[in-house]
Amino acid sequence: MGDRVTLCGEAVKRLAAGFAVFVKNRCNDKNKDSFKIAIGHDSRLSAKNLSEAAIEGLRSECSEVLFCGLSSTPAMFMTTVLNDCDGAIMLTASHHPKDRNGAKFFLRQGGISKTDLDEIIKNAEEYKFLGDNKGARLVCGDFLGDYCEYVKNYFIRELGETKPLSGYKIAVDAGNGAAGFYATKILQPLGADISSSQFLDPDGNFLNHVPNPEDKEAIESISKRVLETKSDLGIIFDTDGDRSAIVLKDGKEINRNRLIAMISAVIIEQNTSVSPIIVTDSVTSEGLKEFIESLGGVHIRYKRGYQNVIGYAKKLCDEGQNAPLAIETSGHGALRENFFLDDGAYLAAKLLIKAIKLKREGKDLSDLIEDLKEPLEEKAFRIALNMANWKEVGQKVLDGLEEFGRKNYRVAEDSFEGIRVYLEGGFFMARMSVHDPVVAVNIETDNVGGAKKIESIVLDIIEDVIDGSDEWMILR
C-alpha cells in the first residue's frame, strides 16, 4: 500500500507507537509501566497487514495489547469503558474508497483533538525502536461481543423483554463493511427476523455499493430491499459503523435532515424539564430548525465536522447547559447518555426502541416527523479555487456574498461558520472547506425553479469577486 494517500505498514507501526507514548504520558492515575491499548479494524483488504504493524508498534510501549479483529469504531472506543483499556485504535477509512485506509484514536475521554494528533505524529516521527517488548502481552478475543451485549442490554432494559423484537422484520445493510454483526449478534438474538438483510459479510472489495448512508445508490438499494421483502424497517451503516440511517416500511429514507428531526423528537420528548439544545452542523435546513423549536427544543448550528459538533455539545454540558444530542447531517450522531460517542448502532437502537413503543400504541415512526417542513428544491455544489492564495480569495468570496446579502436580503446572525442568506423563498449557505481550496454552497427553496435562480445569483457574485475566470470552476 505504497500510494501517498494510503497508510503503509511502517507508518502505521510508527503511529501506533506514537499513540502508545501519548497514552502513557496521560496515565497519571496509574502505573505508567502498566497500561493497555485495544486495536481493531474494518473490512478493508489492507486490514490484516496494517493490524500486524500496529500491534508491533503498540507492543514496543504497552504492557498489554487487546486485538479485537473485525470491529466497529464505536466498539473500539467502548473497550475503554467495558474492557478497562487506556486507549484504542480503529483502522478504518470510513466510507472512503477501498484502497484507502486510516486510523481513529480514542482515549477514555473520547476522540482525540487536532492538537493531540499533532503530538502523536511528532511522537511517531521521533520514535526509536529498540527491539520487541517481550513483556507486552497480546490478548486476542471477542471483545466485539462485549459491545454487542452492551447494546442488547439497552434494548432489554428499555423494552422490558428478553425478546422485544419478536415479530419484527428488519433489513440490515452493512454494505460489506464491519457492521453486519448488528443483524446477527444484536437484532437476531433479540427475536428479530433478519432474513431480509443484505451485504452483511465483510468484504473489502465493496462490490455491491459504497457503504455510506448518504450515497444515493446505497440508499436506493436498502429502500428497494425493504419494499421487496415487506420489512418493517431498514437500517444501513457506513463501513466502520459510526453512522447509520433508516428506511421506513414504505421505502422512505430517513437520513440527513429527516434523521436529525426524528432523533431530535425522541430526545426532546425525554428532556422536558429544561429545553434541550440540539447541536448540528451548519448546513441543516430551515425547516429542521422550525421543527426542533416547535417541539420545545433549541437548535444551534455549529461548524461542519462531527468532532466540532460533538465538542461544542460537550462544552455546553460542561457549562451546565442541557445539550443531550450532537448530530451532523452526514449521520454522525452522538448522545450524551452514550458517552457522546458517534455510534450508528446505538442511534439505530434508539430509534428502533421508539418504533417498538409506537407500534404498541398503534403508531409509526413516521408520525414523529409528520410536521417536518422540507424544501421543494435543494441544490449543492462546490467552487474550486485554483490559485495559490485560495484562502484569501475564498474569504473575499464569502465577504462578497455577505455584502450582497446585507444590502438586498437578510443574513443569518447565528452562523458559526460561513454565511447564510435568506432570499427568493429560501436561502443559500456558503462556507470555506477547512482543508481544501473549495467554497461549498448549499441552496434550499420553496419555489419551483428557485434553486436554479439562486444558483445563478451566487455564481454571478462569485464571478464579480474573482478576477480571472480560468482560476475557478464549479464542482457538482
CB 223 within 8 A of CB 195: no
For residue 382, is it left (φ>0), alpha (ψ between -120 and 50) or beta? beta
Query: Which H or E run contains 215?
Result: none
Of 223, 167, 163, 230, the residue nearest 193 (C-alpha): 167
Domain match, 83 and 117 both: yes
Give the pLDDT confidence score for residue 130 in this predicted structure: 81
3-state helix, strand, coil in the chain (%, to 5): 40, 20, 40
The pLDDT value given to residue 28: 60
Q: What confidence score (pLDDT) does residue 96 get?
A: 86
Long-range contacts of 101-108 (CB under 8 A, 24+ apart): 101/1, 101/6, 101/7, 101/44, 101/46, 101/47, 101/50, 102/7, 103/7, 103/12, 103/15, 103/54, 104/73, 104/76, 104/240, 105/19, 106/76, 106/77, 106/80, 107/23, 107/26, 107/80, 108/80, 108/81
**CA angle 40-237-266, nearest 5°?**
115
Chain-centre distance for alpha carbon 54: 24
Whether residue 370 lies inside any domain: the answer is no
Q: Do 289 and 335 fall into the same domain? A: yes
Torsion of CA 295, 297, 299, 300, to 10 degrees: 180
Query: What is the spatial distance between Cα 334 and Cα 383, in angstroms, rounded to a whole number?
Result: 30
Tell me which H or E stretch contains 163: none
Output the DSSP codes for 394-454: HHHHHHHHHHHHHHHSEE-S--SSSEEEEETTEEEEEEE-SSSSEEEEEEEESSTTHHHHH
Q: Of how many residues is the chain composed?
A: 476
C-alpha to C-alpha distance for 281 and 304, rounded to whole angstroms: 5
Residue of 94, 97, 103, 120 whose CA lies nearest to 39: 103
Same domain, 42 and 121: yes
Q: Rounded distance, CA 1 to CA 180, Å? A: 26
Instruction: List the grid coordinates of 245.
Output: 440511517
Residue 199 lies in a domain: yes
Q: Do 287 and 338 fall within a single domain?
A: yes
Assigned C-alpha cell, 185? 449478534
Last residue in a domain, options 254, 282, 313: 254
Place of cell 403508531: 363
288 falls within a domain: yes
Given 141, 172, 198, which residue is the final one in a domain? 141
For residues 224, 225, 227, 230, the Cα torsion angle rounded to the nearest 10 degrees is: 180
CATH number at residue 448: 3.30.310.50
Average pLDDT of each block of 10 consecutive residues along the chain (476 residues)?
A: 66 96 81 84 96 95 95 98 97 91 95 94 93 77 97 98 97 98 98 98 96 95 98 98 98 97 97 92 94 97 93 97 97 97 98 97 96 95 93 94 96 92 94 91 96 95 81 88
Q: Does an H or E element contain 147, and which?
A: helix 143-159
Structural domain contains residue 358: no
Q: Compute the distance between CA of residue 102 and CA of residue 110 in angstroms, rounded to an integer.
A: 18
Where in the sequence is the domain holding 303, given as residue range(s)?
256-342
336 lies in the same domain as 442:
no
Q: Tell me, what CATH number does 49's domain have?
A: 3.40.120.10
| Distances, alpha carbon 226 to alpha carbons 21, 343, 380, in Å | 48, 23, 28
Are residues 197 and 300 both part of a single domain? no
| Same domain assignment for residues 126 and 50 | yes
In a domain, 455, yes or no: yes
Residue whose grid cell is 443569518: 412
CA dihedral 163, 166, 172, 176 (to 10 degrees): 60
**Is 1 within the bounds of a domain?**
no
Alpha carbon distance 336, 377 (integer Å): 34
**Residue 360 covered by a domain:** no
The three-class DSSP label of residue 349 is helix
126 and 16 in a common domain? yes
| 161 and 135 share one domain | no
Count of the separate structural domains present in the chain: 4
Q: Give domain status of residue 272, yes or no.
A: yes
Kindly state whether residues 16 and 137 are assigned to the same domain.
Answer: yes
Query: 326 and 385, same structural domain?
Result: no
Whole-angstrom distance, CA of residue 442 vs CA of residue 439 = 10
Are 20 and 94 in a shared domain? yes
**In the listed set 320, 342, 364, which residue is the last one of a domain according to the structure?**
342
